[in-house]
Structure 1
Amino acid sequence: MSLSQRPASWVMIFLPFALGYYLSYLLRTVNAVISPELTQDLSLSAADLGLLTSAYFLTFGMAQIPLGIALDRYGPKRVLGSLLLLAAVGSAAFAMGDSLGQLTLARGLIGLGVSACLMAGLKGFAMWYPAERQSSMTGYIMAAGALGALTASTPMEAMLPFLGWRGVFWLIAGLATALSVFVFFALPGDVQQTSRESLGTTLKSVAKIFIAPDFLRFAGSATFFTGGFMAMQSLWAVPWLMNVNGLPLNQAASYLMILNLGMLTGQLSVGLFGTRLSQRGVTPLNVMQIGYGLMLIVQGLILTGWGPILVFWFLLGVLSAANAQTYIATAANFPKSAFGRVSTAINLMAFAGAFIVQWGLGIALDLLQQNGASVPGSLRMAFAGLIVLQILSFVPLMMKTGKKIKPE
């Protein structure tokens, strides 16, 4: 019986990775709910808040290329377990921070600490599960992330009066420490399955990925669809709901929970039906084309404010499941041996996009308001700008390409 077929394999393999990605997404989106308290306590501007929150995405994105190399050379157990300790330190530092600079540095350390949670899981699944289970395992770990996002909405808002945002981060620091210990204890040994390729050869292969047309085709959508969704979900959704739709914080947090429920629904659907769709000839690229096309329509409806807003936020969450297909669709054009480096390269584009959009929206809001625009009006103009960028990045996905690179 293989390791993945043993009854306890979900505890030994899936659960550590799922809990890691749960924590990663919780930390990614928690600032959306605590942003009013942060703004009040520290007198932050919109640009300050955008920079503070996006520091997570900056360090997370910067870590992706070295992370891909480290996962291949040292395995997911040692990489994930060690980095989670950094997440614990960053969370404790955030809980103690008293200035924008301190909190930004702590937020950046958190981003670095959880940067391996998804990629380590994908690497581990490739090592310890058969190929036919990859699609389902990916969908299920994405669902764990959606649960983390759900926790960061209404449940987090309910905890704030009792713990405050500092108490919340002390709690998260303790959870990250416990999870690191669990990773080292539960995951199987991975030393025998690590790469022996020289560092120089590895770095050259990474450089070739970034200039490959088959990578560049997906880079824009990863930046503005995946990154844009993360920027809205992790920060700007709540200010939008409060200022554009006029909702109080508790109701805005409920809407955020509906968005995240939609995301959970979409990811579970991928886990349950992904294999069947593939057998019927539906490719990951097809899922992206349909999902992103519908996402543009839903976002346009949210922008105009016409129709049942709650339904549109739920649908936006469902359609965001198309984002995960970017990793598979891009890697399909490269040798299988390069999967880790290709997926982390795409992840870099996604998190660079989240950083750019999150901070960029904050800067745009400040500039628009300084020139006489209202808060709701400036939010609408900034969101419309994001949609334009998404449309431009959608075009390459609809174009046919030449021959794929054959697997080695």
Structure 2
Amino acid sequence: MHTSARLRVFTLFSVGYVLSYLYRGLNLGLAPYLSSTFRFSTAELGTITSVYFLGFAGAQIPAGMMLDRFGPRRVESALLAVAAVGALMFAMANGFGMMLVGRLLIGVGVSVCLAAAFKALSEQFPLTQLPLLNGMVSAIGGLGGVFVGAPLTSLLEVVSWRSLFFSLAALTVLTALTIWFAVPDKGKVRTDHAVVPKINDSWSIFRSRAFWRLAAFPAATQGVLYAIQSLWVGPYLRDVTRLDAAASGKIVSILSLSLMAGCATLGALARVLSKRAVSIRSLCNACMCIFVLVQLLILSEVHIANYVIWAVYGFFGGSGILCYTVFAERAPSALIGRLNTAMTLLIFSTTFLLQIAIGWILNFWPTHGGQYPAIAHKVVWVGLISFQVLSAIAFIRPVRQSFSEEAVPLG
């Protein structure tokens, strides 16, 4: 394939993943505006934000099958159109219900952006180039997380949140159309119709004890990271750390940048250590434990500069993603696709439930001037840390039974 065609594939699918990351965290900056416009409680705000993750998680298995059958060009273009409809509904919403549906459609619409990018790259580039290219797409996508910090705070001072969503809807449509017309096809559309057996095979992963041993701790840490990063870090910095909106926005951007750096650095480190007979699972375990320790330091309000402690939080926050490589180490190749889908579903379902739970818990305390008492946030963080510690117990224990030894279909 010509270099220009490969460049189009890489660039356009990277843009799609930036949109996915951007939509995920937008409500962090929008929260004060939505609360003042609609008088939403924290529980309602948490529900609106978290339903994105519900749509994202629920679409994983069917979207994955569509990718295999129709290819990344068709599937991502079609689903981005769904996201654009959701963005339009969000922009025009006059209440809780319409906003909830819009946010749900956005989650469904961008659910395949990363998986489609990885599949498109695997179809167009040599196998030896994929680790670097996949890492670059992940890092570029992280720019969406950077935008929802200080840049979004500044932008919302000059444009309304409704105008922002109208613009995003237009950009999403433009991206969908460009992918549809500019990305070359590779391979034929599959015509098999064995959908129900494939869904049953995917769900059977969740009956595997080996899967839960490996997935519990990473799902907990990633769920906590995404729940905090996409909404609740802002209220925490405002109510506990007493930072204004501008300072909080800078911390959010630092967190996102350090998350990008951590994913790239830990991925490279895993490759080096694996050549020296150090298991990736051990590295994943150590980094996730550090992530929990950093949360304890934040909760304890140690005398460390905010930008430093939150940078470390972001750097180690993405370490749970190494579990996908752990699966590749330990499972038969016939199971890898379903394991990855199941893990993504588990992470985003956990995020969805945690975001709702956080808003529900905070709502037990009365607000003063739109702010919650520091003790409310501390109770939430104690609960989140306890949840991760309990899940770590299963992860740290050795896995004696392999996936192939369990009743998990391999066909």
TM-score, normalised via structure 1 length: 0.92
**Among 331, 334, 340, the residue aligned to 1:334:** 331
Per the TM alignment, residue 214 of structure 1 is displaced from its structure 2 partner at its CA by 2.3
- Equivalent-residue separation in structure 1 for 2:278 and 2:76 (angstroms): 33
- Equivalent-residue separation in structure 2 for 1:333 and 1:318 (angstroms): 26
Letter in 1 for 2:110: V
Superposed, which structure 2 residues align to 1:351-370 within 5 Å? 351-369=348-366
**Among 297, 310, 321, the residue aligned to 2:307:** 310
Superposed, which structure 2 residues align to 1:50-89 within 5 Å? 50-89=46-85
Moved beyond 6 Å, runs of 4+: none
Residue matched to 1:246: 242
Residue matched to 1:401: 399
**Among 217, 222, 228, the residue aligned to 1:226:** 222
Gaps of 5+ in 2: 405-409
- Equivalent-residue separation in structure 1 for 2:358 and 2:106 (angstroms): 22
Residue matched to 1:113: 109
CA gap of 1:147–1:118, structure 2 versus 1, over 3 A, is: same
- Conserved 8 A contact 2:239-2:372: no
- Conserved 8 A contact 2:58-2:345: yes
Residue matched to 1:151: 147
**Among 377, 381, 386, the residue aligned to 1:379:** 377
Q: Does 1:176 align with 2:206?
A: no
- Conserved 8 A contact 1:74-1:191: no
- Equivalent-residue separation in structure 2 for 1:209 and 1:147 (angstroms): 33
- 1:120-158 Cα offsets, whole Å, 9 max, x none, are 122333333344433323322221221110011111111
Residue matched to 1:211: 207
- Equivalent-residue separation in structure 1 for 2:109 and 2:48 (angstroms): 16
**Among 29, 36, 46, the residue aligned to 2:42:** 46
- Equivalent-residue separation in structure 1 for 2:135 and 2:7 (angstroms): 17
Per the TM alignment, residue 197 of structure 1 is displaced from its structure 2 partner at its CA by 7.3
Letter in 2 for 1:326: C
Gaps of 5+ in 1: none
- Conserved 8 A contact 1:292-1:319: yes
- Equivalent-residue separation in structure 2 for 1:297 and 1:75 (angstroms): 42
- Conserved 8 A contact 1:22-1:148: yes
* Structure 1 stretch displaced more, 272-281 or 168-177: 272-281
Q: Secondary structure at the match of 1:402?
A: coil
- 1:187-236 Cα offsets, whole Å, 9 max, x none, are 33144375847223312321321211222123322432111100100000
* Structure 1 stretch displaced more, 231-240 or 205-214: 205-214
- Conserved 8 A contact 2:5-2:184: no
The alignment of Structure 1 onto Structure 2 pairs a total of residues equal to 402
Per the TM alignment, residue 181 of structure 1 is displaced from its structure 2 partner at its CA by 1.4
Per the TM alignment, residue 369 of structure 1 is displaced from its structure 2 partner at its CA by 4.3
Per the TM alignment, residue 405 of structure 1 is displaced from its structure 2 partner at its CA by 4.1
Residue matched to 1:323: 320
- 1:312-355 Cα offsets, whole Å, 9 max, x none, are 10011111231321222234433323333221211111110111
Letter in 1 for 2:202: V
Letter in 2 for 1:391: V
Per the TM alignment, residue 9 of structure 1 is displaced from its structure 2 partner at its CA by 5.3
CA gap of 1:260–1:87, structure 2 versus 1, over 3 A, is: same
CA gap of 1:176–1:357, structure 2 versus 1, over 3 A, is: same
Q: Secondary structure at the match of 2:142?
A: helix
Q: Does 1:95 align with 2:91?
A: yes
- Equivalent-residue separation in structure 1 for 2:241 and 2:354 (angstroms): 21
- Conserved 8 A contact 2:210-2:401: no
**Among 384, 389, 392, the residue aligned to 2:390:** 392
- Equivalent-residue separation in structure 2 for 1:251 and 1:242 (angstroms): 9
CA gap of 1:364–1:345, structure 2 versus 1, over 3 A, is: same
Residue matched to 2:138: 142
Per the TM alignment, residue 73 of structure 1 is displaced from its structure 2 partner at its CA by 1.8
- Conserved 8 A contact 1:331-1:343: no
Residue matched to 2:283: 287
CA gap of 1:112–1:41, structure 2 versus 1, over 3 A, is: same
Residue matched to 1:345: 342
CA gap of 1:333–1:126, structure 2 versus 1, over 3 A, is: farther
* Structure 1 stretch displaced more, 330-339 or 313-322: 330-339
* Structure 1 stretch displaced more, 7-16 or 37-46: 7-16
- Equivalent-residue separation in structure 2 for 1:92 and 1:284 (angstroms): 43
- Conserved 8 A contact 2:267-2:322: no
Residue matched to 2:161: 165
- Equivalent-residue separation in structure 1 for 2:69 and 2:159 (angstroms): 41
TM-score, normalised via structure 2 length: 0.91
